[in-house]
Amino acid sequence: MASFASLLCAALTQAETLFDYQLQPVQVAEGTWVVPGVPEDFSRSNGGNIVNIGFIETSAGVVLIDTGPSLRYAQQLEAAVARVTSQPIVAAIITHHHPDHWFGNQHFKTLPIYALPETLGAMVNEGDNFADNLYRMSGDWMRSTEPTPANTALADNTLSIGDHTFQLIKLKGHTVADLAVLDTNTGVLFAGDLAFDQRAPTTPHADIDTWLASLDSLGDIDYRLLVPGHGQPAPDDRAIQFTRHYLLWLQNLLRQSAQVGDVPTDVINKPIPAAFQEASLVREELSRSVIHLYPGLEANTLSTHKQGGYN
Amino acid sequence: MTRHVATALIRLLGLVVLLGGSALARSGLERNGADPLDSPMWENMHERFLAGEDYVFDAAIEVIAPSYAEDSLNVPVAFSVSGIENIQQIAVFADLNPLPMVLRLRPVTVAPAMAFRFKLQQSSPVRVAALTDDGLWHVGSAWIDAAGGGCTAPSVGMASGNWTETFGTVNAGFFPRESGNRLKLQIMHPMDTGLAEGIPRFHIEQLQLRNLDDDSLMAELELYEPISENPLLSFDIGAVSGVALEGYDNNANTFTADLVNP
């Protein structure tokens, strides 16, 4: 047992040294694969491989759903794609502007990389800040990665590539613009980060009410398999339910805490309900969400006792 | 030689006071011991902000902060003190901040506890040091990891130019808690550090809280540059239900408001 543990340890150390993400595409439908990430935050051991990237083989070539967290990831993604299909990568569709989903764009910049217009704007505005953070958290895995925003704005409700037609469902709430992509050929729904499963949803750009409404919209879609941005693909709505359940808990917790006068650090340390104790990163994401969402709620509980103004 | 004898006597007296009081259970605390966070700046902090006086690292001072500063401009911190009486003042500082001093509180009738947000330039310990009337500082610590940039950015209000519209507005709320009333008060103010290019230091320096019923002093507070823009400060004020706020900033703007629990 000890020798197995030390072997595993040695293997992991070697992976870090070589900056090998060890990407393993998992086929989830005909001509459709998901490259699963680990249920962790960015770190120097995972190099940012925390996200589900999808790819679809069409008659015109392979379409990527998101491009991953770094240049190295994108290079290794291309190699992983080549292991399961002889088709070249011809396009990428980006679900939203969080960096784990598009920092691989640089490697595919000669191809059309599609995103919603608001997502394009957010990539331009926030890319450098994201890069600062990712270099700090993931270290040398990020080497030579430069934020490269998508190059083609999506305006229509569908996109046809080869023999596949993708339905583009424009939603928001996790960020300013969240694109869900339904492959009408296979019924696979790539939900982006509107849906998480067994991993706490992140809220740095979230509007929870809008997000909840978007989850209702996702639930109305006729799909055969739902691929969440983080968590296991599944043929049912478990990721939608998990995300809705979590967001409702978070929203109620923050509101009730503000009402009774809790300070932010009180809220960060609130108990985690049993329903989420098996899920990843709940305490960490609660702590982050308090920073994102609590100041506004806390300010709303105060009333103006003296009107100011500067002359 | 005489000085050493005197120091030894004072320490002995201090020990007697400690042993004679409620501190008996905590007599295992090491005087002027090593910093549990091993900060390279601790000795410097000790000289600058605690006047080189005796200290103990003491778990009775609870410092609650997130382990990671998700927003370097607004890092929430709360502190409280349990089981220590006769606190003269409380100093809060962050060793590795370019402007380490955050605030000083003299809790007269308010609990020796507060919550606030501050700007953090890089990963650092945050310290809360409570001075008791025997001349000993009781120090609590927490480590906060930060991506950085909190102190050298201009305030949002100054950068957008709209700070004048709300400047000096005082918002407040009273919340009944198990231990009495909690007062949250917010004064709209840019709180610029002077470290952002072309924007001078501009911050609230002094605040006083008085009981509206009898004008008695509840607390005095010194605020420094790292306190976040539009400071939101929380105090546990016991049974008091009306507070007169008075204060001024480093440009001699004054802030007064009567805060009444409706």
Q: Which domains does chain A possess?
A: 19-236 (3.60.15.10)
Query: Residue A1: which pLDDT band, with cuts at 50, 70 and 90?
Result: very low
Instruction: Check: CB of residue A127 under 8 Å from CB of residue A105.
Output: no
- Cβ of residue B165 closer than 8 Å to a chain A Cβ: yes
pLDDT digits 0-9 by tens, B49-87: 999 999 999 999 999 999 999 999 999 999 999 999 999
What is the per-residue pLDDT for B128? 98
Query: Residue A8: which pLDDT band, with cuts at 50, 70 and 90?
Result: very low
The list of chain B residues with pLDDT below 50 reads 1-3, 5, 7, 12-25
Distance in Å from the first CA to the final CA of chain A: 74
What is the per-residue pLDDT for B110? 98
Chain B residues with CB-CB distance to A308 below 8 A: 166-170, 188
Chain B residues with CB-CB distance to A266 below 8 A: 78
Q: Between chains, do A265 and B165 touch, taking CB under 8 Å as contact?
A: no
Q: What is the mean pLDDT of residues A236-255?
A: 98
Q: What is the mean pLDDT of residues A119-140?
A: 95
Q: Given CATH 2.60.40.2470, say whether it is the number of domain B31-260.
A: yes
Domain boundaries, chain B: 31-260
- Residues whose CB falls within 8 Å of the CB of residue A98, separated by 6 or more in sequence, listed in order: A130, A175, A193, A202, A205
pLDDT digits 0-9 by tens, A199-219: 999 999 999 999 999 999 999
Q: Between chains, do B260 and A268 touch, taking CB under 8 Å as contact?
A: no
What is the per-residue pLDDT for B26? 57
**Mean pLDDT estimate for chain A:** 94
Closest residue by Cα to residue A43 from A24, A15, A62: A15
- Res. A30: pLDDT tops 80: yes
Positive/negative CA dihedral, A180, A183, A186, A187: positive
Q: What is the mean pLDDT of residues A292-302?
A: 97
Instruction: Check: CB of residue A285 under 8 Å from CB of residue A301.
Output: no
Residue from B128, B175, B187 whose CB has the most chain A CBs within 10 Å, to mutate: B175
Q: How does DSSP assign B191-260, residue by residue?
A: -B-S-STT---B-EEEEEEEETTT--EEEEEEE-TTBPSS-EEEEEEET--EEEEEEEETT--EEEEEEE
Q: What is the mean pLDDT of residues A36-61?
A: 96
pLDDT digits 0-9 by tens, A64-110: 999 999 999 999 999 999 999 999 999 999 999 999 999 999 999 99
Distance from the A185 Cα atom to the nearest Cα atom in chain B, whole angstroms:
41
What is the per-residue pLDDT for A3? 47
What's the one-letter identity of residue B212? L
Closest residue by Cα to residue A237 from A246, A224, A248: A224
CA distance A127 to A102: 10
What is the per-residue pLDDT for B159? 86
- Cβ of residue A20 closer than 8 Å to a chain B Cβ: no
Q: Between chains, do B165 and A263 touch, taking CB under 8 Å as contact?
A: no
Q: What is the mean pLDDT of residues A281-296?
A: 96
What is the per-residue pLDDT for A310? 86
Q: Between chains, do A291 and B173 touch, taking CB under 8 Å as contact?
A: no
Number of other residues whose CB lies within 10 A of the CB of residue A300: 13
Which of residues 118 through 147 in chain A touch B, CB cutoff 8 A?
132-133, 136
Phi, psi angles (nearest 5°) of residue A284:
-65, -45
What is the per-residue pLDDT for A287? 96
Closest residue by Cα to residue A284 from A41, A19, A13, A59: A41
Q: What are the distances in angstroms from CA B5 to CA A19, B32, B173?
A: 63, 18, 53
pLDDT over 70 percentage in chain A: 94
- Residue holding tokens 């005087």? B31
What is the per-residue pLDDT for A15? 57
